[in-house]
Structures are given as structure tokens and as C-alpha cells.
Amino acid sequence: MFVFAPLSSEQIQRVQEFERTEGIRLLALKEVQVEPELLPADKLMALNDLEKSLGVCLLAVR
């Protein structure tokens, strides 16, 4: 799984300069080691309701 990478101010500037120079948009991601959490049906339904109310995708991990 990948999450947004924490970048220093200098790293952000370098990425932004590359974006301007090349005319493309970039996302800086970092790999994290997680396993999916197996949820019982009731918790899965509650998670699905929360996703709908927030308008986002949530992943249960351990």
C-alpha cells in the first residue's frame, strides 16, 4: 500500500520545479507495510456507512 510521502520544503520545491519543467503533475508516495483487516459483517456495514457519509474510501488494516 502507498500513502502520501512526507516531503521537506526542499523536496517539495524540487518536485514542483520538475512538474513545471516537464508539464506534468506528480504525486509523491511512500510504501507502507500493512495487512488488510478482516471485518465481521456488522463492522463492514458500519465502515461502509461511514465511507458513504464522508465520501471517501476507507481501508481497515492491521
Using the Cα atoms of residue 13, residue 15, residue 21 and residue 25 in order, give the sign of their dihedral.
negative
Q: What is the pLDDT of residue 50?
A: 98
What are 8-55's pLDDT values in tens digits?
Answer: 999 999 999 999 999 999 999 999 999 999 999 999 999 999 999 999
What residue type is 31 in one-letter code?
E
Same domain for 27 and 38, yes or no, is: no
Same domain for 7 and 24, yes or no, is: yes
Q: Which domain holds residue 14?
A: 1-31
C-alpha span between 2 and 42 (Å, rounded)? 27
Task: Please give the tally of structural domains in the chain.
Answer: 2
pTM more than 0.85: no
